[in-house]
Structure 1
Amino acid sequence: MNRYFSTIPWLLQRISGAVLVVLLAVHFWVGHYADWGEPITFAGVQMRLQSTVFITIDLILLMLVVFHGLNGVRNIILDYPAFLPHNRPISLILFIIGIATVIFGIYALYPFITGGG
């Protein structure tokens, strides 16, 4: 067994994938199909984002997508034996990228979070 392999990231990858399937289905249904035939407008999205439930779901989606994507990139990189000794720096760089992405996403949702949307 590879000494750099950990069951926790592997398990979290599977859990985040399953939760993403459900949340994305809900997100697409509400965002694109709930008002069948009506065009998607900024005002409609803005109205939906006034709900704490939708903001919470969007924030959870943001964090899950970032984790799932970057953990997948980490797994692909560490599949190459040349990168195995660099596990920690690679993981740290991807962690920093993930934190920055989540902060940027929260910044984009901030007007809606504060109710000013």
Structure 2
Amino acid sequence: MAERHSSFNYGSTLWFLQRVTAAFLVVVLAFHFFLLHFVNHAYEITFAGSQFRMQQLGYFATMILFLGTATFHGTNGIYNALINQGIDGTQKTAAKWILVVAGVLLFVQGIRVALAFTGV
């Protein structure tokens, strides 16, 4: 029988955050699909409608939280997948900092886009 190997230490902060962000993402994705695929159909979605939604504080805050959790969840997941593949030493350090920089850049660009939608 294969031995279970994971870079996550069960019960650690990163282990916990990976699960919390996954749960949050499932809820927000369900909200997204319900709102933008069932309440409003694809052909009804317009730039003006998207801009209106982003001007609503609750929706804006939800999308910023979605951006932050998705960025963390994705970069943390990639990092741990790389560790599970056996990288260590300099490769591990380089991967960590590349993913940190990529995550920050992605988050900043997402904030810029969100603010552009609000007209700020």
Q: Same fold (TM over 0.5)?
A: yes
Whole-angstrom CA distance in 2 between matches of 1:37 and 1:90: 38
Of the candidates 29, 34, 48, which is equivalent to residue 43 of structure 1? 48
Q: State the partner residue of 1:61.
A: 66
TM-score (norm: length of structure 1): 0.82
The change in CA–CA distance for 1:107 and 1:36 in structure 2 (over 3 A counts) is closer
**Farther off after superposition, 48-57 or 88-97:** 88-97
Per-residue deviation, 1:55: 0.7
The one-letter code of the counterpart of 1:35 is N
**Farther off after superposition, 64-73 or 26-35:** 26-35
TM-score (norm: length of structure 2): 0.80
Whole-angstrom CA distance in 2 between matches of 1:64 and 1:32: 22
| Gapped regions of structure 1 (runs ≥ 5) | none
What are the superposed Cα offsets for residues 75-113 of structure 1, whole Å, 9 maximum, x if unpaired?
1111122x122333322221111000000001111123x
Per-residue deviation, 1:46: 1.5
The one-letter code of the counterpart of 2:33 is F
Greater than 4 Å deviation, 4+ residue runs: none
Question: Aligned Cα RMSD in Å?
Answer: 2.2
| Gapped regions of structure 2 (runs ≥ 5) | none
Aligned sequence identity (%): 32
The change in CA–CA distance for 1:69 and 1:37 in structure 2 (over 3 A counts) is closer
Per-residue deviation, 1:43: 1.6
How many residues matched? Answer: 112
**Farther off after superposition, 83-92 or 100-109:** 83-92
